[in-house]
Amino acid sequence: MNKSSESRPRIVHIMGGGLSGMTACTLLQPLDLIKTRLQQQRQDHLAFLREAKKKGLLVSPQQSTLYSTVRDIVSSNGVGGLWRGTIPTLVRNVPGSALYFFALSEIGDVLARTRPTWQRYLYTSSSVEQGKKQWENLVSGAAARGSVGYIMMPITVVKIRFESNFYNYKSISDAFSSIIKNDGFRGLFSGYGATFIRDAPFAAINLSSGVAAGATATCVTQPFDMLKTRMQLKPFIYKNLVQSAKKVFMEEGIIGFFDGISVRLIRKPLNSAISWTIYEEVVRWYTTTRDPSSSL
């Protein structure tokens, strides 16, 4: 963090993060919904085939595709159905993004202020300055995403369930009541381990590198994104990270871990571009308002 960023009030980071989160999640909600449906459908169809086999019925396997998923959603609920789950997504992403950018700024400031006390243990005198900055980005990105992810995990579980077609909650409060009643308070944190493994490295890499590295991070963390979705939708079947991974591998093979990756590869760079552009514009607006000459 430079001096100009340190002088900005915390509310600027919170406002920029909140506005960026609201815009990105509203525009990209259809992609989030489609990804969730793709990640649930393979397991649903395999279960259906097993039941049919027990009854002596021959049912040909079906392949869930991006096109067939969109077609099914639109035919059942209209175009507006692509925005199913937008309200819990907003409840999650607006404060979540605000907290993330705030935490990112605060952690970065702490690292910058304490650099003289710890850098001698990590860096040699010949270390490139850019390399030092990347390590600080890795730490601040992972820490911010991991901590905010834990805070927002209950509404994340509700969001995923709203996006699926397993549950028909009438409201967010109804969803919370149902989850607590059936799964206990622990159910509100289903899949956090997989979420942390997915989000923390991605946030760190995304801050430190370019588009190619971001795409690589998306592919590497995809299995954890899929496992997170399964654990949050069916915690009574997918009980923990290791058991879930074994179950998916035995029933669906390696390919099962990559359900929804095409949508995620589209959504992730768009989300990053929208979020960071709006956040930086808010920060730039504040800087320009305070000092008009800074925009020249």
Contact 229, 160 (CB under 8 A): yes
Six-digit token pair at 56? 């002596």
> 53: which residues sit within 8 A by CB, 6+ positions away?
none
The per-residue pLDDT for 296 is 47
Residues 6+ apart with CB under 8 A from 229: 36, 39, 40, 160, 191, 260
Residue 265 near residue 218 (C-beta atoms within 8 A): yes
Rounded CA-CA distance 216/218 in Å is 5
The whole-number pLDDT of residue 3 equals: 41
DSSP 47-80: HHHHHHHHTT---------HHHHHHHHHHHH-GG
The 10 Å Cβ neighbour count of residue 49 is 16
Give the pLDDT of the chain (296 residues) as one tens digit per residue. 444 444 568 899 999 999 999 999 999 999 999 999 888 877 666 665 565 556 555 444 556 688 888 998 999 999 999 999 999 999 999 999 999 999 988 998 888 888 777 766 666 555 555 555 677 778 888 899 999 999 999 999 999 999 988 888 889 999 999 999 999 999 999 999 999 988 877 676 666 565 666 788 888 889 999 999 999 999 989 999 999 999 999 988 898 899 889 999 999 889 988 999 999 999 999 888 876 655 54
pLDDT of residue 200: 79
204: exposed, middle or buried (Cβ count in 10 Å: 0-12, 13-18, 19+): buried
Q: What pLDDT was estimated at residue 216?
A: 80
Whole-model pTM: value is 0.80
